[in-house]
Structure 1
Amino acid sequence: MIFFDIDSTLLDHEQAEELGAIEFFEENKEDIKCNTNEFVALWHHLSDTYFEKYLEKELSFLEQRRMRMKELLGSHISNDLADEKFNEYITYYKKNWKVFEDVIPSLEQMKKQGKRLGIISNGDENQQMEKLETIKIRKYFDCIVTSSKVGISKPNITIFIEACNLAKVKAEECYYIGDRVETDAIASTQAGMRGIWLNRKNTMTRSEIVTIHSLHELATIIK
């Protein structure tokens, strides 16, 4: 069985986040004391910081959203206003959800070869399912596991093992493809899977990790 990450593996999360943040900034720049580039950098920083706190169970999914908005607009704003503003951003973010160009051809090819496909993703179950539906790839996967549903986040190897149990397959019979070296490739390998690092940015090399730069390369690895 072949499992995938979602964000920055199947869905171009970084582009959607950046375009969504820019649109949000343009609508709210009178209340934000920086320029567009500074705002985008700050948005990415706050996103990474508070989402990590959510994964570590320091904050709920809703709380991490509110904290991001309060850092941007001021700690004095109410929770209701923080929710309203974050929902405004989410509208822009969703508008820019798109798959990478190599995703659908690769999924189609693997399905035609009779491969079973699955998802293991950190994040909120409802939002991750909505992403798969919106970018029209939900139909390819028969096992979808999210950290909010099972209560465990990558890189904890238990989430990979739980996914295998739910799919009724052995870990050694599975591949896992994701864009993060430690969180995806190494953690899944430690869980007994064959981890593959999807290094779309060609940022560095790791000789001990099976690495691809496009999903088109999967056919040479997965027979």
Structure 2
Amino acid sequence: MIFFDIDGTLLDYDYAEREGILDFFRAHNSFFSFTEHQSIELWKQLSREYFEKFLANELVFQEQKRLRMINLFKMAEIDLSDQEADEKFEMYLSFYQKNWKAYADVMEALNQLKQSGYTLGVISNGDYEQQIEKLQHMGIEEYFNCVITSSEIGAAKPDKAIFEEACAHANRQVKDCYYVGDRLDTDALGSKKAGMRGVWINRKDKISHQDVIVINSLSELGALVI
């Protein structure tokens, strides 16, 4: 069985986040005077800080979204109420979702693997409902027999518990499963430490790694596992 990460592996997360936050700042250009680069870097910083708190079970999913907006607007000396912060995040989310798209190599790879008889699944850090929305938006939900997320399991990658739980849910031995993800430590090495066959999809450069399988495109996956 082959499990996949979603963001940065199937969905072009960097593109969606970048375009989404730029659209948001354009809609609020009377409040903020950041350059495009500053806007993107600031939002990435806030997202990373509060999403990690969610993964560590320090915040619920809604709280981490709200706090991103509250702290963003504090930089413009504007204090948002919880309701206002929620409304602002929903606006950002609409821009972000509008830009969801699968990488160009996704459909062909999934079709090839399915035709070759592989069972496919997803293991993702994040909120279950939102991750399902992403798969539906990309038109690929039907390819996956199971979708396991940290919000359901109570453990986040690279904790081996989430990988083990996914394999148990799929009724597969951990050693017989592949895991494909774009983050070396969180995905490839994390899944390998759990006993899976970790595959690092590194679209950014030609760096390899001695401890895991490295591919530069999902188009390489078929030849690797078939």
Q: What TM-score bracket applies, with the shorter chain setting the length?
A: over 0.9
Q: Does 1:195 align with 2:198?
A: yes
* Segments ≥4 residues shifted beyond 3 Å: none
Offset of 1:49 from its aligned partner?
Answer: 1.2
Q: Secondary structure at the match of 2:168?
A: helix
Does the CA contact (< 8 Å) of 2:192 and 2:212 recur in 1? no
Offset of 1:204 from its aligned partner?
Answer: 3.3
Counterpart of 1:118? 121
Counterpart of 1:210? 213
Distance (whole Å) between structure 2 residues aligned to residue 204 and residue 141 of structure 1: 29
Counterpart of 1:26? 26
Distance (whole Å) between structure 1 residues aligned to residue 192 and residue 209 of structure 2: 14
Offset of 1:213 from its aligned partner?
Answer: 0.4
- Return 5+ residue gaps in structure 1 as ranges: none
Offset of 1:76 from its aligned partner?
Answer: 2.0
Amino acid at match of 1:29: N
Does the CA contact (< 8 Å) of 1:16 and 1:97 recur in 2? yes
Amino acid at match of 2:181: G
What whole-Å deviation, never above 9, does each CA across 1:39-98 have from its counterpart, x for those lacking one?
Answer: 111011111111111101111111111111011112721000000000000000000000
Same amino acid, percent of matched pairs: 47
Distance (whole Å) between structure 2 residues aligned to residue 32 and residue 78 of structure 1: 18
State which of 107, 114, 120 in structure 2 corresponds to 1:104.
107
Distance (whole Å) between structure 1 residues aligned to residue 2 and residue 35 of structure 2: 43
Q: Secondary structure at the match of 1:31?
A: coil
- Return 5+ residue gaps in structure 2 as ranges: none
Give the alignment's TM-score, normalised by structure 2. 0.96
Give the length in aligned residue pairs. 223
CA RMSD for the aligned pairs? 1.1
Amino acid at match of 2:202: N
Offset of 1:203 from its aligned partner?
Answer: 6.4
Does the CA contact (< 8 Å) of 1:32 and 1:72 recur in 2? no
> Following superposition of structure 1 onto structure 2, how do residues 45-56 of structure 1 map, counting pairs within 5 Å?
45-56=45-56
Amino acid at match of 1:57: N
Amino acid at match of 1:41: E
Q: Does 1:168 align with 2:171?
A: yes
> Following superposition of structure 1 onto structure 2, how do residues 30-179 of structure 1 map, counting pairs within 5 Å?
30-74=30-74, 76-179=79-182
Offset of 1:185 from its aligned partner?
Answer: 0.4
What whole-Å deviation, never above 9, does each CA across 1:109-157 have from its counterpart, x for those lacking one?
Answer: 0000111000000000000000001110000000110110111110100
